[in-house]
């Protein structure tokens, strides 16, 4: 069921236990039941109704918050999901409920020193799409850098071959990185578009070619833009939006 994109594995377990899964007309309520490729899986409407209540939240994470569990005294980003921080520009029409915080988890990391778009979701399908093993969703970042003693006009002195290496040719933890799109936005800021997300990847990539990152902001995940969402505030993913 998870591989077919019907739900997350956790949801699949819950649906089976509730008798919401039907295989060739027979309700299945035993976990681990084997299903052959040619068999037909149907989902009870009650499961679809429950799934429709799940929310995905877009947060403009500030520096100083961790994406997941609290660590080293730093608060997790989910603590910012409050009625007070709900962006007044949200046009989704969804009303906030404390139940929406249940099983709400980040779909991808954004390190403590970085800002920008962080997705938190209850929907396993969204998490799989963004961070699943076969995800091909690209993420866009704006990265402010220094180069030696230079803080401006770095694009004029940074070697073109090093820029080419950033795009393709680096390895982290002895694993070659996938090709990336890297270009200068202005004299001190690079634009990165990645299709993977290793821990502190951009900072480590820049370090390998002599650049020091002084600011990093994620501005897009797939087709969803950070846009005008203010720092520290959040909004719901609209039903008309998709990554």
Catalytically active residues, by annotation:
111
Asked if 204 and 230 count as a contact pair (C-beta separation under 8 A), the reply is: no
Nearest to 196 by CA among 216, 177, 181, 169: 177
DSSP string computed for 29-51: -STT----TTSPEEE-HHHHHHH
Query: What residues pair up with 23 in beta bridges, in sequence order?
Result: 26, 41
β 171-172/175-176 pair status: antiparallel
Query: What residues pair up with 43 in beta bridges, in sequence order?
Result: 21
Nearest to 168 by CA among 130, 134, 196, 140: 196
Query: What residues pair up with 216 in beta bridges, in sequence order?
Result: 143
């Amino acid at each position: 069921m998870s591989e077919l994109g019907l739900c997350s594995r956790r949801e699949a377990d819950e649906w089976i236990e509730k008798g919401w899964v039907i295989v060739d007309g027979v309700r299945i309520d035993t976990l681990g039941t084997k299903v052959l490729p040619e068999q037909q899986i149907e989902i009870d409407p009650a499961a679809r109704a429950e799934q429709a209540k799940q929310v995905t939240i877009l947060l403009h994470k500030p520096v100083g918050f961790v994406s997941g569990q609290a660590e080293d005294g730093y608060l997790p980003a989910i603590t910012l999901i409050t009625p007070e921080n709900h962006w007044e520009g949200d046009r989704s029409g969804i009303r906030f409920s404390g139940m929406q915080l249940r099983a709400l988890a980040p779909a991808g990391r954004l390190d403590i020193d970085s800002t920008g778009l962080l997705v938190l979701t209850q929907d396993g399908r969204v998490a799989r799409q963004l961070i699943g093993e076969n995800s091909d969703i690209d993420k866009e970042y704006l990265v402010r850098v220094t180069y030696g003693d230079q803080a401006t006009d770095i694009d004029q002195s940074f070697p073109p071959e090093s820029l080419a290496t950033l795009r393709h040719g680096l390895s982290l933890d002895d694993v070659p990185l996938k090709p990336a799109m890297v270009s200068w936005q202005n004299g001190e800021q690079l634009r990165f578009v990645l299709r993977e997300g290793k821990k502190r990847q951009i900072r480590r990539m820049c370090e390998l070619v002599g650049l020091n990152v002084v600011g990093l902001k994620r501005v897009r995940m797939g087709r969803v833009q950070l846009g005008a969402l203010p720092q520290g505030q959040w909004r719901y993913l609209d039903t008309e939006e998709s990554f």
